[in-house]
Protein backbone atom coordinates (compact mmCIF):
# COMPACT_ATOMS: atom_id res chain seq x y z
CA UNK A 1 0.00 0.00 0.00
CA UNK A 2 1.38 3.42 -0.97
CA UNK A 3 0.50 6.41 1.16
CA UNK A 4 1.24 10.10 0.70
CA UNK A 5 2.29 12.48 3.48
CA UNK A 6 -1.19 13.72 4.34
CA UNK A 7 -2.63 10.20 4.50
CA UNK A 8 0.18 9.10 6.79
CA UNK A 9 -0.34 12.09 9.10
CA UNK A 10 -4.06 11.25 9.23
CA UNK A 11 -3.31 7.62 10.10
CA UNK A 12 -0.62 8.16 12.74
CA UNK A 13 -1.84 9.73 15.95
CA UNK A 14 0.37 12.53 17.30
CA UNK A 15 2.25 12.88 13.99
CA UNK A 16 2.40 16.31 12.42
CA UNK A 17 3.36 17.09 8.84
CA UNK A 18 6.26 19.15 10.21
CA UNK A 19 7.60 16.21 12.25
CA UNK A 20 7.11 13.82 9.34
CA UNK A 21 9.15 15.99 6.98
CA UNK A 22 11.84 16.57 9.59
CA UNK A 23 12.18 12.87 10.36
CA UNK A 24 12.41 12.03 6.65
CA UNK A 25 15.05 14.74 6.21
CA UNK A 26 17.05 13.31 9.12
CA UNK A 27 16.80 9.82 7.62
CA UNK A 28 14.90 8.35 10.55
CA UNK A 29 12.31 7.08 8.10
CA UNK A 30 13.10 6.41 4.43
CA UNK A 31 10.06 6.43 2.17
CA UNK A 32 10.24 5.69 -1.53
CA UNK A 33 10.27 8.66 -3.90
CA UNK A 34 7.21 9.01 -6.09
CA UNK A 35 6.36 11.45 -8.84
CA UNK A 36 4.52 13.68 -6.37
CA UNK A 37 6.80 13.29 -3.37
CA UNK A 38 7.52 10.67 -0.73
CA UNK A 39 5.48 7.46 -0.76
CA UNK A 40 5.14 5.56 2.50
CA UNK A 41 4.32 1.89 3.11
CA UNK A 42 3.12 0.00 6.20
CA UNK A 43 6.68 -0.47 7.49
CA UNK A 44 7.20 3.29 7.31
CA UNK A 45 3.94 3.86 9.19
CA UNK A 46 5.01 1.42 11.92
CA UNK A 47 8.36 3.19 12.24
CA UNK A 48 6.61 6.57 12.44
CA UNK A 49 4.43 5.26 15.26
CA UNK A 50 7.58 4.07 17.01
CA UNK A 51 9.17 7.48 16.51
CA UNK A 52 6.12 9.14 18.04
CA UNK A 53 6.41 6.83 21.04
CA UNK A 54 10.13 7.50 21.43
CA UNK A 55 10.00 11.27 20.90
CA UNK A 56 6.66 12.19 22.39
CA UNK A 57 5.89 9.56 25.04
CA UNK A 58 9.40 8.67 26.17
CA UNK A 59 10.90 12.12 25.45
CA UNK A 60 14.08 10.71 23.96
CA UNK A 61 16.20 13.66 22.81
CA UNK A 62 16.78 14.11 19.07
CA UNK A 63 20.54 13.72 19.45
CA UNK A 64 20.11 10.33 21.17
CA UNK A 65 17.42 9.00 18.84
CA UNK A 66 19.80 7.87 16.03
CA UNK A 67 21.56 5.60 18.52
CA UNK A 68 18.25 4.12 19.71
CA UNK A 69 17.06 3.62 16.11
CA UNK A 70 20.33 1.93 15.17
CA UNK A 71 19.98 -0.47 18.09
CA UNK A 72 16.37 -1.24 17.18
CA UNK A 73 17.33 -1.80 13.54
CA UNK A 74 20.14 -4.16 14.58
CA UNK A 75 17.77 -6.05 16.82
CA UNK A 76 15.33 -6.53 13.94
CA UNK A 77 18.15 -7.67 11.65
CA UNK A 78 19.28 -10.19 14.27
CA UNK A 79 15.73 -11.50 14.58
CA UNK A 80 15.54 -11.96 10.78
CA UNK A 81 18.85 -13.82 10.80
CA UNK A 82 17.70 -16.05 13.65
CA UNK A 83 14.47 -16.85 11.79
CA UNK A 84 16.52 -17.85 8.75
CA UNK A 85 18.84 -19.97 10.88
CA UNK A 86 15.87 -21.66 12.54
CA UNK A 87 14.34 -22.46 9.15
CA UNK A 88 17.61 -23.94 7.92
CA UNK A 89 18.00 -26.03 11.08
CA UNK A 90 14.40 -27.25 10.80
CA UNK A 91 15.15 -28.48 7.28
CA UNK A 92 18.04 -30.68 8.49
CA UNK A 93 17.75 -34.41 9.20
CA UNK A 94 16.76 -35.43 12.74
CA UNK A 95 20.30 -36.52 13.62
CA UNK A 96 21.73 -33.12 12.65
CA UNK A 97 19.03 -31.28 14.61
CA UNK A 98 19.73 -33.43 17.67
CA UNK A 99 23.47 -32.76 17.40
CA UNK A 100 22.81 -29.01 17.18
CA UNK A 101 20.44 -29.13 20.18
CA UNK A 102 23.03 -31.07 22.23
CA UNK A 103 25.74 -28.56 21.30
CA UNK A 104 23.53 -25.65 22.36
CA UNK A 105 22.72 -27.31 25.70
CA UNK A 106 26.42 -28.04 26.32
CA UNK A 107 27.40 -24.41 25.66
CA UNK A 108 24.75 -23.11 28.07
CA UNK A 109 26.27 -25.03 30.96
Residue closest to 8 by CA, chosen among 26, 18, 20 = 20
Query: Does residue 6 sit in the same domain as residue 51?
Result: yes
User: How much is the pLDDT for 80?
Assistant: 97
Query: Does residue 43 sit in the same domain as residue 94?
Result: no
User: How much is the pLDDT for 72?
Assistant: 95
Query: Does residue 73 sit in the same domain as residue 49?
Result: no
Query: Does residue 15 sit in the same domain as residue 68?
Result: no
User: How much is the pLDDT for 44?
Assistant: 97
How many folded domains does the chain comprise? 2
User: How much is the pLDDT for 15?
Assistant: 96
Query: Does residue 48 sit in the same domain as residue 66?
Result: no
State whether residue 4 is helix, strand or coil: coil
Question: In tens digits, what is the pLDDT along the chain, a chain of 109 residues?
Answer: 799 999 999 999 999 999 999 999 999 999 999 988 999 999 999 999 999 999 989 999 999 999 999 999 999 999 999 999 999 999 999 999 999 999 999 999 8
Q: What range defines the domain where residue 10 resides?
A: 1-59
Amino acid sequence: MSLDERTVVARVERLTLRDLRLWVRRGWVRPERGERGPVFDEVDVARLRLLCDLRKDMAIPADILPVVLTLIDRLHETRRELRTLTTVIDEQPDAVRRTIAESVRARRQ
